[in-house]
Amino acid sequence: MDTIKIPETDVVTKLSSSAEKNNASENELFEVIGVSFQPSGKIYHFEAGKFTAKQGDNIIVETARGIEFGTVVIANTMIPKSKLVLPLKPVIRIATNDDRIHYEENKRKEISALKICEERVAAHGLDMKLIDAEYTFDNSKLLFYFTSDDRVDFRELVKDLAAQFRVRIELRQIGIRDETKLMGGLGVCYRDFCCHSFLGDFAQVSIKMAKEQGMSLNSSKISGACGRLMCCLKFEHETYEEELKKCPKLGARVSSPDGPGEVVELKPLMAQVRVKLDSDPEGAPKLYPRDTVYELNGNEEPLREQQSEVQDDAVSELKESEETVLTEQIAFSSEETELQQNSEDDDETKVSNEKFGSRKSRNRYDRRRRQIKNQVIKESAVSESDSSEKQEPAPERKKKKKHIWEKGENQKAKANEAAKKASAPEPVIKEEPKTPEPQKKNNYYRNKKRRNFKNKKSDKQNN
């Protein structure tokens, strides 16, 4: 079968077009409306369609649990696809006066439903605390929110409530922070709870935030009404982190305008440091601006001056390293030129990188070839001159030259022996005739006759 070859240009164009389509799909804009179902609840996006709403308007939308009545928090806006959770539910209509009246009726029903559910919980003897009740806008579902320390088996309770209200019943167990958010109240600052007034989601809060802000680690002072750490500890945490990086640490040795001392207090938001001076150990610590105080090292020298010295040393080291690199490059280039010249003098030293695979192996081979060449030159000079006129080598390199000379003599003797063998006629070797090996006789039939004779003899004796 003939194979079909696709040009590379077509493949590249197809890939580029697919990438462009993906980028275009990610940057695709959708017209949405932001809706919240509680005063400080999470914001959900819905497809606007043909409707135009303003902030504060009431609208009817379709959700996963049914039709709901919500309030517009974000008016019609264009948001890219990458920032949305698809598919988007549509907006059904803008709320009318009848819708608002129906919504208020549902709120009144929720109060009576909560009382009935509390009675049923007491009748079944369940360990659970009811928090709130909520009807969907179309009265198709009734939700009850409760808290409990343990897991609760409320199957019998659901059956009683379904028989009482004739709708679908759903019970949801929530945490203590969600309870505080639904109930609301006043905090230690005499203002409404942050979670009930404006926080959409709960942020993670740790004890480290209270330490960095210099707050007391007493749990009663840094905990909210829910018994957890206060959410407001997260608000200024990033600012404290940035300012603390600019301040010396507590207990650090610093130099102040009045002399050296020790840091006893930090005020990062005011950019101030309180220092206890060595000159007045019994006196009260003094407050200085953060820019006038410098941290000291172990030698009682300002840390900033030490840092500048370290930077100067680093610059000088960099310059020295650059100079050494330049000298190494020059030396390497000179060695390379010498190798090229030597290779031109001797054709045998010309070896390609393909044969040896690396520069090191090629240089090693060239070096060995030069040594052999020098040995051959010395051997020829020794053979021409008499043994009595041989020059003694210098005392410094006596051993090395003697070793090379002896090696050359051995090579010369081996070469002479090989030449003599080559010049001498080869002796004729007479081949002796080979005597044929005696053939082994086949005694199979003779043995067979003997066996037959013995058998017959034994038969006669038996008879």
Higher pLDDT, 294 or 1: 294
31 and 56 inside one domain: yes
Mean predicted lDDT score pLDDT of the chain = 76
Can you say whether residue 186 is alpha, beta or left, with left for phi > 0 and alpha for psi between -120 and 50 degrees?
A: beta
Q: Is the pLDDT of residue 102 over 90?
A: yes
Helix axes of 303-345 and 359-384: crossing angle, nearest 10 degrees: 50
Q: Is the pLDDT of residue 109 over 50?
A: yes
Residue that finishes a domain, picked among 123, 147, 174: 174
Query: What DSSP designation does 233 have?
Result: G
Residue 188 forms part of a structural domain: yes
* Highest mean pLDDT: which range of 93-102, 384-393, 440-449: 93-102
Q: Is the pLDDT of residue 350 over 50?
A: no
Per-residue CA distances from 394 to 37, 54, 175, 405 (Å) = 104, 106, 97, 14
Burial of 424 (0-12, 13-18, 19+ CB in 10 A): exposed
In this prediction, residues 415-419 reach a mean pLDDT of 76
What token pair was written down for 407? 């090696």
Domains contained in the chain, number: 5
Range of lowest pLDDT (152-161, 242-251, 271-280, 327-336): 327-336
Residue that finishes a domain, picked among 95, 130, 149: 95
Give residue 354's pLDDT. 45
160 and 194 inside one domain: no
34 and 90 inside one domain: yes
Give residue 6's pLDDT. 47
* Structural domain boundaries, residue 290: 246-305
Range of lowest pLDDT (260-264, 286-290, 292-296): 292-296
What token pair was written down for 337? 């030129």
Give residue 385's pLDDT. 61
219 and 262 inside one domain: no
The model's confidence at residue 355, banded by pLDDT at 50, 70 and 90, is: very low
Q: Is the pLDDT of residue 340 over 70?
A: no
Give residue 52's pLDDT. 87
Range of lowest pLDDT (224-233, 243-252, 341-350): 341-350
In this prediction, residues 455-459 reach a mean pLDDT of 73
Residue 35 forms part of a structural domain: yes
Residue 413 forms part of a structural domain: no
For the chain, how many residues are written?
Answer: 463
Residue 110 forms part of a structural domain: yes
Helix (H) or strand (E) holding 220: helix 219-222
151 and 116 inside one domain: yes
Q: Is the pLDDT of residue 64 over 70?
A: yes
In this prediction, residues 362-382 reach a mean pLDDT of 77
Q: If DSSP codes are grouped into helix, strand and coil, which group holds residue 50?
A: coil
DSSP secondary structure string for all residues of 248-307: PPTT-EEEETTEEEEEEEEETTTTEEEEEESS-TTSPPEEEEGGG-EEB-TTS-BHHHHH
Q: Is the pLDDT of residue 399 over 50?
A: no
Q: Is the pLDDT of residue 398 over 70?
A: no
80 and 121 inside one domain: no
Residue 391 forms part of a structural domain: no
Higher pLDDT, 449 or 19: 449
Residue 14 forms part of a structural domain: no
**Which residues, in sequence order, are bridge partners of residue 263?**
275
Strand order in the sheet with 141-147: 129-135, 141-147, 168-173
Q: Is the pLDDT of residue 25 over 80?
A: no
In this prediction, residues 267-289 reach a mean pLDDT of 89
Residue 368 forms part of a structural domain: yes
What CATH number should be reported for the domain holding residue 266?
2.30.30
- Give the pLDDT confidence of 433-451 residue by residue, as tens digits: 555 555 555 566 667 777 7
Quote the CA–CA distance of 214 and 211 in Å, as a whole number.
Answer: 5
The model's confidence at residue 97, banded by pLDDT at 50, 70 and 90, is: very high
- Give the pLDDT confidence of 161-202 residue by residue, as tens digits: 999 999 999 999 988 888 888 888 888 888 888 888 888 778
Q: Is the pLDDT of residue 23 over 90?
A: no
- Start-to-end Cα distance in the chain: 89
Q: Is the pLDDT of residue 463 over 50?
A: yes
79 and 130 inside one domain: no
Q: Is residue 162 a contact partner of residue 144, using CB atoms and an 8 Å limit?
A: no
Higher pLDDT, 336 or 283: 283
Helix (H) or strand (E) holding 46: strand 44-47
In this prediction, residues 193-217 reach a mean pLDDT of 85
Q: Is the pLDDT of residue 426 over 70?
A: no
Q: Is the pLDDT of residue 297 over 90?
A: no
Give residue 434's pLDDT. 56
Residue 210 forms part of a structural domain: yes
Residue that finishes a domain, picked among 65, 95, 125: 95
Quote the CA–CA distance of 81 and 236 in Å, as a whole number.
Answer: 32
Q: What percent of the chain has pLDDT over 70?
A: 67
The model's confidence at residue 160, banded by pLDDT at 50, 70 and 90, is: very high
Query: What DSSP designation does 118 have?
Result: H
